Chain A
């Protein structure tokens, strides 16, 4: 449990339900849990838009999608992030190298990590891009679930603990995506324990709701994507 300290700088998410309460404190690791679907990505892209528009830097780690897919998805939301790619937004692509060579995208300048098991290469990739991402970078990590799929949970926990500490040292706000229902309870409890804040999203009959006790949303509140 992390309590907000008065004077902490806050980061706006672009969603009123969180922003009216201040937003997300700087230097924090956030676990974003939602059922499989687009909501986590939409949430992240909207938050990125706030940052990028204000001239801030961001890193998008992808383990289950091509970076170009993320850009496409943003476009369908009416947000063009391609103008920022490799200028203030850096992709770390852990996905392409798990595919046969013919299927990998060409002519992109993303940092390539050879697959979701190459965790040391991934931490080196993050360290590299942190150098370019400015003072208060936002990091989207999509997703922890893929790492858990390919690795022993023990290694993922160690990795997240070390990475999380480094990211906080770099004044970052990081959203770690987690697919609800994919992991056992013990794994989820450990993940929650490793971060500063947990944001949960649920979808019921076409309506989405959000909850985050550490960010001040104790009961489920409606959120529109």
Chain B
């Protein structure tokens, strides 16, 4: 498929999973649970399309279009020359009795008028247009399920007739499974957003559930950062025996790093944040000294993955390394091994390390030099691949 025919979502990992992006002229549903916001996904997709000179139309009926523009601004998807090219269909102003500034407006609670207004906007802006429909859940909540589905059919057929690419967001307010199935059936692509909620922490995941072409079934943790939506792994633990090079490793690859150390050895905690090609991760190093091992319990809570650093020049410490791995790693949490100090003569090769430590074949063992940085990023990438390949338990 030529790239010309693809609309990218502005989220590189998601595009990869979709086989490059969304096919032009098809329909995509972004479906979230309550409390997870699907809107940034359509805003980001729209913004990237606008920067590429594509025509974009946006329908919204639960807030002012001006508010949507404001939200783009807070997501830093804001360059006036681009944003002003978006065409809005205002389905909200009439509800609060304020006259709309938009070219296309709905004036009453009438699904027919909604469809006609959408059709008019699409017809008058017909040029490989992208049509974004925010908040489809409003329809099944306002009308009954059958009527809502008929409306959806109308929206899809109007979009297809005008050769537009349709992207719809929807929050699943506990609709019946059969209704949700009916909705999903009508789309070429279904992207779902889910979360695991804890007291203060919400972890969000996206995954592709349906696509017309080959796609990757991954569950990808993400967050909305200052530069939009990105893959984000909130907690990777870096562990290894005394002097294996944990702190150096974290500091070498981190965009930002702090270390609590005393006379060259870490007494309490290393922390680093890494951000490379749209993938972010927080790294936490374990303390090297036994009297701080109580901290391991705190650290290992909710870890997504573990990086074990071993000193390839000192096989005598391998036993201790495996011991430490056991301490921080709960069953089923993926890990990768950095065979460190490859820059020193006499270091065992990664394969020799694997053999001596009896590590299974599926565990990545990668040669590194924390001092020079060689191989370090590869370890993190290998681990992140494992983290998102492994189906993470979602609620």
The chain A residues found within 8 Å of chain B, CB to CB, are 97-101, 114-115, 117-121, 123-124, 127, 130-131, 150-152, 154-155, 158-159, 161-162, 166, 169-170
Contact = CB atoms under 8 A, between A and B. Distances in A.
A127 B35 contact: yes
Contacts of B173: 119, 155, 158-159, 162
Contact of B171 (A97, A114, A120): A120
A97 B93 CA distance: 11
The contact size tier of chain B is: 20 to 34
Given A131-B200, A150-B95, A114 B37 contact: no
B88 to A, nearest CB: 14
Contacts of A162: 34-35, 173-174
Contact of A120 (B34, B66, B197, B202): B34
A155 B141 CA distance: 6
Which 7 interchain pairs have the tightest Cβ spacing? Answer: A114-B63, A155-B141, A117-B62, A114-B67, A158-B173, A120-B171, A123-B35
B95 A118 contact: no
B291 interface: no
23 contacts: A99-B98, A101-B66, A114-B62, A114-B67, A115-B63, A115-B92, A117-B61, A117-B92, A120-B34, A120-B35, A121-B37, A124-B37, A127-B35, A127-B197, A127-B202, A151-B141, A152-B142, A155-B137, A155-B141, A155-B173, A159-B34, A161-B174, A169-B199
Contacts of B62: 114-115, 117-119
Interface in B123-150: 135, 137-138, 141-142
B3 interface: no
Nearest to B32: A120
A166 B35 contact: yes
B40 to A, nearest CB: 11
A192 to B, nearest CB: 20
B316 interface: no
B174 A124 contact: no
A152 B141 contact: yes
Given A98-B96, A123-B35, A117 B63 contact: yes
Given A97-B67, A162-B34, 18 more contacts: A98-B96, A99-B98, A114-B63, A115-B62, A115-B96, A117-B61, A117-B95, A118-B62, A118-B63, A120-B37, A120-B135, A127-B202, A152-B142, A155-B173, A158-B173, A158-B174, A159-B34, A161-B174
Nearest to A123: B35
Contacts of A155: 137, 141, 173
A149 B98 CA distance: 16
Interface centre among B35, B66, B71, B98 (most CB of A within 10 A): B35
Contact of A124 (B35, B66, B98, B138): B35
Contacts of A169: 199
B102 to A, nearest CB: 14
Contact of A123 (B34, B64, B95, B142): B34
Contacts of A117: 61-63, 92, 95, 138
A158 B140 CA distance: 13
Interface string B13-55: 0000000000000000000101111000000000000000000
Given A97-B63, A120-B35, A162-B35, A154 B199 contact: no
A114 B171 CA distance: 16
Nearest to B98: A100
Nearest to A150: B95
A108 to B, nearest CB: 15
Contacts of B96: 98, 115
A155 B174 CA distance: 10
A119 B141 CA distance: 12
Nearest to A113: B63
Contacts of A101: 66
Nearest to A132: B200
